[in-house]
Amino acid sequence: MSTLTLNPSPYIIIDFDSTFTKVEGLDELAAIALNGHPERDQVVQKIADLTNKGMNGEMSFADGLRQRIALLKANRSHIQELVSFLRTKISDSFQRNRQFLTENADQIFIVSSGFKEFIVPVATELGIHADHVYANEFLFDEDGNITGVDEENVLSTDGGKIKLLSSLNLTGDVFAIGDGYTDYELKASGLASRFYAFTENVERPRVMAVADHIATSFDDFLYDNKMSRSQSYPKSRIKVLLLENVHPAALRAFEEQGFNVEFVKGALDEDELCERIKDVSIIGIRSKTNITKRVLDNANRLMAIGAFCIGTNQIDLEEAAKKGIAVFNAPYSNTRSVVELAVGEMIMLIRNIVGKSNQLHQGIWDKSANGSFEVRGKKLGMVGYGSIGTQLSVVAEALGMEVYFYDSVEKLSLGNARKVNTLEELLAISDVISMHVDGRKENTNLIGKREFDLMKDGVIFLNLSRGHVVDIQALADAVRSGKVAGAGVDVFPKEPKTNDEIFESELRGLPNVILTPHIGGSTEEAQENIGHFVPSKLLEFMNNGSSYGSVNFPEVQLPKLKDSHRLLHIHANVPGILAKLNHIFGKNNINITGQYLKTNEHIGYVIVDIAKDYTEEFIQEVKDIEGTIRFRMLY
């Protein structure tokens, strides 16, 4: 909990149903009491409709309350069951801020049109004083059945909350928080200084339209008023932009933690992205979106980039690092999917299945074995021996192939795979050639006319790596001449941004050529794995400060934050920063409970866990250190 509280203690008036809890208590009581009743769903829906009309200010509250009570068939035993249920339905942000509620209980009141019988047992568990709970009360018969509502309680009448708050005679600032129109009326009457429309559980447009502020959580309310809170920032204020139809698991991961997420199916060009990335803190992309220096210059709040794929060549990693933006990818999540596509295409092409299938679709029955071969005993040559190449090597060897590879970096071979010294040697000996290189500029047209000329006649050629590593015109000519007997291509120098664009290529219509629309990693399993893996890294960075797995950032794997506040200081990699930080800590008598430092060529990353007692002046001193790129606090 932060100790920084700048405002004099205001009174906080909190609604209960759909605010303090996620549900409407009376609606849930009806559902419990009518369990097994043949018309349960219809009655519960009628009560819910009346509740919504009252909350939206569309009908007299008093009339709606009486109609709901008339529909309700419940007794004390049902209320006890409801209380147990409501204890599991306390709004997440109120649960997180239990300490604030306890420490500030003298200033907090619950004013609700619900009922004390189920509100008091729930609210008091989070530190609310029982005598600070104002709500309606049921009337019961001698058997404990609910027969009505206490008519003498002002909260059972129209304008009841106004009458109740007026009777409290509170002096000073009064802030009202709730999801209903009756909560807004506290501000309209002049009794509350500000009204916060609470939208963590339900959004009522009519109520939101009249609010001073829309509080997506209790954290948001506390943040707006610079009060102590369980989180250093309300996540609803952190904008996440997900492009290129990333897996829904990613969307869920961010939404479940309360982030403000925008989901876009297609890619964006540079001009579009320069505009859309403003005020975005996290962006998720796949392979078609290019994050250039110009894009990064327009990213005024960007803290992290997630590449929902293996490659990161579409991102200016160096510029991102200089701006203190961490980049994470999924180096292994779709490896198996790409390998299986490569194996499948290899077998299909070497058997000439594509040609046979096309003929049969035209009614031609050609059962000849000419030009059809087994992969067993053939030489597979892989250009690149990274995570995909090594796994393909193992599978291919299991199929009985001889495996060779060329890589500019020294790699330890798996199984019986053999490394050759030059690309030219690999091309000359291979029956099947598969590309597995990264997208760096130096690999542009790595395979062109010269390289195809060096290959065996009738070679099978696969490119499932990057589109620009192969000269497409040279490949098309090699297919037409028969030098390449079959080709499988999944990536292209120029690819459509969306499914609505026409795909153009010299390879279209060529015999025994399998063209796929960049789907090497597009299996449900791979995309779901990526959809879980990349957000987990991004969230760990945002929530904990850990940068482990980043491709451009000093890698630090941090312990979970416990009973401290965490300072994250990103700075230019110049001498003396840590000394300046320690001087500021010493001068301000700050107790350090943990300290971590890692640097790379461009930046340094210092993480310091400190005791909670500090001043804003101390924080400003840390921010003002020369060379500071970005500063964050977590707690």
Tell me whether residue 518 is one of the annotated catalytic residues: yes
What angle separates helix 335-350 from helix 387-398, to the nearest 10 degrees? 50
Tokens 């006890």: give the residue.
80
Coil, strand or helix: which one is 278? coil
- What's the one-letter identity of residue 295? V
Active-site pick, 132, 466, 565, 602 = 466
Element (H, E) at 417: none
Question: Cα 260 from chain centroid?
Answer: 9
Spatial separation of the C-alpha atoms in residues 552 and 567, rounded to whole Å: 20
Q: For the purposes of burial, counting CB atoms within 10 Å of the CB of 6, is it exposed (0-12), middle (13-18) or buried (19 or more)?
A: exposed
Spatial separation of the C-alpha atoms in residues 19 and 177, rounded to whole Å: 8
Tell me whether residue 39 is one of the annotated catalytic residues: no
Spatial separation of the C-alpha atoms in residues 95 and 230, rounded to whole Å: 10
DSSP string, 312-376: -TTB-HHHHHHTT-EEE--SSTTHHHHHHHHHHHHHHHHTTHHHHHHHHHTT------TT---ST
Coil, strand or helix: which one is 196? strand
Q: What is the DSSP letter of 378?
A: P
Active-site pick, 495, 528, 540, 555 = 495
Element (H, E) at 230: none
Coil, strand or helix: which one is 89? coil
Spatial separation of the C-alpha atoms in residues 435 and 488, rounded to whole Å: 11
Tell me whether residue 501 is one of the annotated catalytic residues: no
Question: Which residues, other chains included, contact 538 with Cβ-Cβ below 8 Å and sequence gap of 6+?
Answer: 282, 284, 304, 306, 328
H helix count then E strand count, the chain? 24, 24
Contact 176, 25 (CB under 8 A): no
**Would you state the structure tokens that stand for residue 70, as one six-digit string?**
């008339």
Residue 571, strand partner residues: 604, 628
In this structure, are strands 565-572 and 628-634 parallel, antiparallel, or unpaired? antiparallel
Active-site pick, 518, 565, 569, 602 = 518
Active site residue ranges: 466, 495, 518
